[in-house]
């Protein structure tokens, strides 16, 4: 018996009028009578690195367990979820909480100036103005698993560095505070916070600067430009693929609508500070950045994403949570219970936005499972007690199952001051990258993960 079926290449894109639109995974990308797990249609795991500034409220304050809102009391499987982690309850099978971690290379007399840029590299920079950090784990991953995607990696931020109050330092310069990604020891990568620029980067509106400017001034949806190819493709798909494709196109259209609405705001009657007018408030921009990442994963535009969920030493107030205090001054809590409780609310909000992102990835098919099932994410920060600016114990989660490479549903408590670099080394091993060491002190795989 012969089985015939049309086969669409995994890298197929729709093109029209100078724009291109990548496709999500479709069953039609799998050759007939071929198991999904044995085809090139199954991609390596998506990896993501999501940075939380200014620590988490743990048991390392004079209030002890009374105010511990992060670290589970129980070790091993089926652990308890403290307030900041309670939003993860629907995805506990995908959650690994790691306690006992330290990142000594990130410690200095100028914490906010180097803490972001040392989180993923675990290399202590010399005291000089020129950048000299470590190649970060996201970029090592991008070099190995991202080279056959349109964008080996994307680097995003929920707010720009102008919201930070401590971007530069006289000893370490300005290279480490506004980024978590280094492609070489001397090359910090900018974290893009403008959603319109992110959208254009993902979908390539225009082949030249002139074309992009023309498209921007007379805005039209990229879906309109590829409408003929879209119609032709839909006619060749089965019912399940048509539903998947329609869902994907609807998400593209919705993000386009949100980006355009933000760009079209009439602010002429207001006196504005010197900030990018196209970057919305953090409570709008943070979910939008997560949606961009979700769409990029779904279309296989990238397999590696990094996101700063707030600027380091941010002056932003989370007024949408009813908290008038600016985040950074509030982080100097002085062990005042009211301030600690406000910080827990902010950190729980970050968890909720991230969990909403996980829910969307759970609904995106990826081979025989979902993008979430095949993902490996690092979620956490490079500071512990924000009042002390210390680096132990670091709030750290590994999220996702990595297609069976990550056990999940574990609280792992290591001996005090286990190097964070060992987590990075372990995650690289889980995606098949055979590094022997990482950073200044990463020397062993944490096999329990």
The closest alpha carbon to 217, from 225, 228, 205, 227, belongs to: 205
154 in Cβ contact with 304 (< 8 Å):
yes
187-188 and 304-308 as β-strands: parallel, antiparallel, unpaired?
unpaired
CA distances (Å), 323 to each of 7, 63, 85, 352, in order?
54, 22, 20, 17
pLDDT for residue 160: 80
Instruction: Let me know: does 104 contact 115? Beta carbons within 8 Å.
Output: no
* Mean pLDDT of the 305-330 span: 95
Q: DSSP label at 419?
A: E
Comparing 93-97, 188-192, 212-216, 348-352, the range with the smallest average pLDDT is 212-216
Higher-confidence position of 208 and 374: 374
Q: What tokens were used for 260?
A: 């355009």
User: 383-415: per-residue pLDDT in tens?
Assistant: 999 999 999 999 999 999 999 999 999 999 999
Q: What is the pLDDT of residue 280?
A: 84
Is the peptide bond between 393 and the residue preceding it cis, with omega within 30 degrees of 0? yes
Q: And the tokens for 337?
A: 């219970």
Is the Cβ–Cβ distance between 120 and 424 less than 8 Å?
A: yes
Q: Distance between CA atoms of 383 and 395, rounded to whole angstroms?
A: 8
How far is Cα 358 from Cα 373, in angstroms, rounded to an integer? 10
In whole angstroms, give the CA distance from residue 216 to residue 220.
8
Residues 24 and 27: their CA atoms lie apart, in Å, by 10
Bridge partners (DSSP) listed for residue 411: 76, 97
Instruction: Specify whether the CB–CB gap between 256 and 199 falls below 8 A.
Output: yes
- 99 contacts: CB under 8 Å, gap ≥ 6: 71, 72, 393, 396, 411, 412, 413, 414
pLDDT at 270 > cutoff 50: no
11: tokens are 């890298």
233 has a pLDDT exceeding 90: no
Domains detected in the chain? 1-20+199-278 (no CATH), 43-193+281-430 (3.40.720)
Query: Is-contact 426 449, C-beta < 8 A?
Result: yes
What is the distance between the alpha carbons of residues 275 and 285, in angstroms, rounded to a whole number?
Answer: 14
CA angle 396/401/403 to nearest 5° reads 145
pTM, whole model, 2 decimals? 0.81
pLDDT in tens, 198-223: 887 776 554 444 554 555 555 566 67
**Nearest-angstrom CA–CA distance, 350 and 53:** 11
Cα-based distances in Å from 235 to 4, 25, 238, 409 = 17, 17, 8, 43
């Amino acid at each position: 018996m012969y089985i015939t079926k049309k086969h669409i290449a995994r890298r197929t894109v729709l093109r029209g009028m100078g724009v291109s639109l990548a496709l999500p995974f479709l069953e039609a990308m799998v050759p007939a009578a071929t198991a999904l797990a044995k085809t090139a249609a199954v991609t390596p795991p998506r990896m993501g690195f999501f940075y939380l500034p200014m620590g988490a409220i743990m048991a390392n304050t004079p209030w002890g367990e009374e105010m511990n809102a992060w670290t589970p009391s129980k070790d091993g499987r089926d652990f308890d979820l403290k307030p900041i982690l309670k939003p993860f309850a629907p995805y506990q099978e995908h959650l690994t909480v790691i306690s006992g971690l330290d990142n000594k290379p990130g410690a200095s007399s100028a914490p906010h100036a180097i803490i972001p840029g040392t989180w993923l590299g675990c290399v202590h920079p010399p005291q000089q103005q020129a950048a000299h950090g470590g190649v970060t784990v996201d970029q090592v991953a991008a070099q190995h698993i991202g080279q056959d995607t349109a964008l080996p990696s994307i680097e995003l931020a929920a707010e720009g560095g102008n919201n930070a109050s401590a971007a530069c330092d006289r000893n370490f310069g300005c290279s480490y505070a506004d980024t978590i990604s280094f492609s070489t020891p001397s090359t910090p990568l900018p974290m893009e916070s403008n959603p319109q620029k992110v959208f254009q980067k993902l979908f390539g509106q225009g082949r030249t600067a002139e074309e992009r400017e023309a498209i921007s001034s007379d805005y039209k949806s990229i879906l309109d430009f590829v409408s003929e190819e879209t119609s032709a493709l839909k006619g060749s798909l089965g019912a399940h693929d048509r539903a998947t494709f329609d869902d994907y196109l609807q998400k593209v259209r919705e993000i386009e609508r949100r980006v355009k609405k933000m760009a079209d705001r009439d602010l002429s009657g207001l006196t504005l500070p010197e900030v990018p007018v196209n970057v919305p408030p953090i409570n709008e921009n943070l979910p939008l950045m997560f949606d961009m990442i979700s769409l990029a994963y779904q279309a296989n535009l990238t397999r590696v994403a990094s996101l700063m969920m707030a600027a380091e030493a941010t002056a932003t107030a989370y007024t949408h949570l009813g908290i008038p205090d600016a985040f950074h001054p509030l982080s100097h809590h002085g062990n005042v219970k009211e301030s600690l409780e406000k910080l827990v609310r902010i950190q729980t909000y970050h968890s909720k936005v991230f969990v909403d992102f996980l829910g969307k990835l759970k609904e995106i098919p990826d081979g025989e499972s979902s993008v979430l099932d095949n993902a490996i994410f690092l979620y956490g920060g490079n500071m512990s007690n924000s009042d002390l600016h210390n680096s132990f114990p670091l709030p750290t989660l590994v999220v996702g199952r990595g297609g069976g490479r990550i056990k999940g549903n574990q609280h792992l408590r290591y001996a005090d001051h286990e190097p964070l670099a060992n987590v990075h080394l372990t995650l690289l091993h889980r995606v098949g990258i055979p590094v022997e060491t990482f950073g200044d002190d990463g020397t062993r795989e944490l096999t329990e993960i």
